[in-house]
Each structure stands twice: as C-alpha cells, then as structure tokens.
Structure 1
Amino acid sequence: MQQKPTITTLFLDIGGVLLTNGWDRAARRQAAATFSLDLPELEERHHLTFDTYEEGKLTLEEYLHRTVFYEDRPFTREEFKSFMYSRTEAYPEMIELVCKIKAKYGLKIAIVNNEGRELNEYRIKHFGIDKFVDFFISSCFVHFRKPDADIWRIALDIALVKPEEVLYIDDRAMFINVAEGLGINGHLHKNYEETKKKLEDWGFVVS
C-alpha cells in the first residue's frame, strides 16, 4: 500500500504559477507604448515606490500618483487602471490541477505572494482563486514581502502546520531557497507538466 503523503498543505504563488504576472516589466513596457509614457522615467519611479505598494503601505491611487499622474495626462486614472487589470491571464491547467488535488486529498491551500492590494483583490476574485484557496498570505495584507522569511513564518502560523507538512510552489528560485531554509519543501515551477509530476511524486495523483 502506498504510504500516505506527509504533505497536508500547499503554499502557492499566484503570478507565474496560477496566473500570468500582473504588473511586470512587459506590462509596463506595453503601458508606456499605449499611453505614450517615457519608459525609463516610468521604470525609475516604479522601482522607487512599488515595494511600498506591495507591502500594503500605499494605495493604488497613491502609487499611480507617484509613477504616472504626477503631471497632467490626456487619459484618466480609470483608463490606466483598466489597462493594468487587463494584463492578467489565467493558467487554467494549473488552476484545475490544484482544484482537483484539493478535492481529492483535502489539502489546505494557501497563497503566499507579493502583490499590491487592489491588483491582488482583482486577480483573486476575477479568476476565482478565492473559491479554492483557504488562506491568503499576501504582502499587502501582512506587510512583509518575499524574500523576507517572516511572510512564510506567518503563513505557517495561520495554516497551523509544521514546515515539513508544506509543499511550496513558486516560479522564483530565490523564494524557494528562503522557504527551504525554514524547513519547507519547495518546488520551482517551470511548467504544468513538471509540477504535476512533482505532485505525483508526493502522492497526489489526479487524472
């Protein structure tokens, strides 16, 4: 008889795993072209302030005031925000895989991600991630960003699990390394097929 898996909980990133990245370099490049913005200026202002937004210490309105609307523009904030939201697409195979594993094996599912509040809530609700995730340990909610190890410590406390009971899936190697340093099992997500095989290796087999 196959030994029962020791994993009780999955920690998942959103961007790069369940959905495309939200407001990444490619999206900002597209925004600069669409709205005729100076890309180097946008990038500099973004990098000076985005960490603060992701930590939940700025609203999206404040972030946009610092990065785009510090001067008059021929477009509205709503037009720009709509563009930002529209950059996200789902990875339906990954979402379906997680949902099937949760339904079959009763695992706890927790999100551990870096995201600003408004973008985070839009992405979670629009793509139905709140329908199968038990906990959201998002940087904007807990005021810690990966790779700060405290965000994983908070996730462990909220989920009430030991590190060895967790499999953490992320597309950033550094974040996997930090989590593994806390005793969490890590898997670097590259594609659906490899991650499905990793989950099967842990005993989570779904058709």
Structure 2
Amino acid sequence: MNKQTTNIKAIFTDIGGVLLTDGWNHESRREAALHFHIDPADMEERHHLTFETYEIGKISLEEYLNRIFFFQERPFSMDAFETFMYQQSQPYSQMIELIRRLKAEYHLKVGVISNEGRELSAYRIKQFGLDSFGDFFVSSGFVGLRKPDLAIFKLALDLAQVNPDQIVYLEDRPMFVEIAEKMGMHGICHTDEASTRRQLKSLGLK
C-alpha cells in the first residue's frame, strides 16, 4: 500500500506523551516541590482538588497557582514558578517531524486533542511550532471538555469533516485509544517512535 492507495485522510494526536513530554505531571510537580521547598503532600492534595477545574478552562493558571501555592506568602514569585512550570515541556522532535512529513506527503488533516489548561496549552503549541502543522486544536482548556468525554472526540470529528474510519488516532493512554476505536477510528497506542511508525505503515502511511 502506498500514499496513492491509503484510505487515511486525517491524523488525530495527543500532545503530552506523543509530541511533547507531559506538561505538568506527577514527576514535574515532584521536581517543583524539591526546587521550591514546598510540602509535596499538601501540594498534591490541593492539586487534585482543583486541577480538573483548571484543565477545562473554568479558572485561569493564576487562580490555579493561587489555590495550590500562593494561598500564603512564598519566598518565590508567581512568574518564577510559571517559568519553571513551562520549562518542564520538552519536544519529541522525531515524532513532530514524522507528523509534519506525513501531513505534507499525504495531504492529511491534523487535529490535536489534548487535556491541558488554556495557558499551558497555548504556550506548548507556540513554543514548539505545533501550529505549523496542526489544523485545529481541541484542547480541554479551550473547549471546556476533556477526555474521556465522548463529546471532545465528537467535536474533533465535526471540525475535521472526515469519516472515523479515515482517521488515525495517536495516544499514549490505552483507554482513550479504546474510545477512539469504538468510534470507528484506527487507534495507535503510542509507546515509542519505532512501533508507531510500523503501525502507521500498516495503514499505508510510510
């Protein structure tokens, strides 16, 4: 099968774990606790109580940080903490270039579906040039929906105007892959570049 015969018209992809490292996961918060000398148990409790509210755009990053850290005086500024937070994001350059190449060679639509707060998502999209190949970004912080809600996948389908069986969905979380497959998409549970390339090749995307 070659690019003339492949049935695939679009790629949907997650950001964290596929194109970039996770933006603000447990490891990043642990590093923050060490760097800024914060009680990690208190931080984690406060994080879990309010992070989903931030992730679906109900509060700003500033309000999230006020609830987690700046409810009391700190020997560091919010700007310093935000800078540290953004610096946790690093690219998976080979995966970015793979998606960029496939889009160009096969004239694919690229939709990005991610669970990320508004400010963090906007930073990551611009900082790593994801907007240079992504056609639309269905970020939880932008649309007020988050995976595994079916509505966020349906929104991406509406934006793409492509049949589910013509879409490849790249994701590092098995549950979300399963949901995409039940909706008729070709799911690839991303673990590493090599295995994802093999699975894409089996769908005609070489």
Fold match (TM-score > 0.5): yes
Are 1:201 and 2:198 counterparts?
no
Q: Match for residue 73 of structure 2?
A: 72
Q: Match for residue 58 of structure 2?
A: 57
Cα deviation digits, residues 75-113 of structure 1 (max 9, x gap):
000000000000011001101111111111100000000
Is the deviation greater in 2-11 or in 131-140? 2-11
Q: Match for residue 191 of structure 1?
A: 192
Q: Distance in 2 between matches of 1:178 and 1:197?
A: 22
Q: Distance in 1 between matches of 2:180 and 2:99?
A: 20
How far has the Cα of 1:32 moved from its partner?
A: 0.3
Q: Distance in 2 between matches of 1:152 and 1:162?
A: 12
1:52-201 paired onto structure 2 within 5 Å: 52-201=53-202
Q: Distance in 1 between matches of 2:43 and 2:85?
A: 14
Q: Distance in 2 between matches of 1:109 and 1:19?
A: 16
How far has the Cα of 1:5 moved from its partner?
A: 1.3
Q: TM-score, normalised by structure 2?
A: 0.97
Q: Distance in 2 between matches of 1:103 and 1:184?
A: 21
Amino acid at match of 2:69: V
**Secondary structure class of the residue paired with 2:58:** coil
Unpaired segments of 5 or more residues in structure 2?
none
- Name the % identity: 50
Amino acid at match of 1:153: K
1:23-38 paired onto structure 2 within 5 Å: 23-38=24-39
Q: Distance in 1 between matches of 2:117 and 2:135?
A: 19
**Secondary structure class of the residue paired with 2:176:** helix
How far has the Cα of 1:184 moved from its partner?
A: 1.6
* CA RMSD in angstroms, aligned pairs only: 1.0
Amino acid at match of 2:52: D
How far has the Cα of 1:198 moved from its partner?
A: 1.0
The alignment of Structure 1 onto Structure 2 pairs a total of residues equal to 205
Amino acid at match of 1:10: I
Amino acid at match of 1:80: F
Amino acid at match of 1:19: L
Unpaired segments of 5 or more residues in structure 1?
none
Q: Distance in 1 between matches of 2:117 and 2:142?
A: 9
Cα deviation digits, residues 38-82 of structure 1 (max 9, x gap):
001100111111111110111000100111111110100000000
**Secondary structure class of the residue paired with 1:186:** strand
**Structure 1 residue ranges (4+ consecutive) displaced by more than 2 angstroms after TM superposition:** none
Cα deviation digits, residues 162-187 of structure 1 (max 9, x gap):
21111100000011111112112110
Q: Distance in 2 between matches of 1:41 and 1:5?
A: 51
**Secondary structure class of the residue paired with 1:56:** coil
Q: TM-score, normalised by structure 1?
A: 0.97
Q: Distance in 1 between matches of 2:141 and 2:166?
A: 25
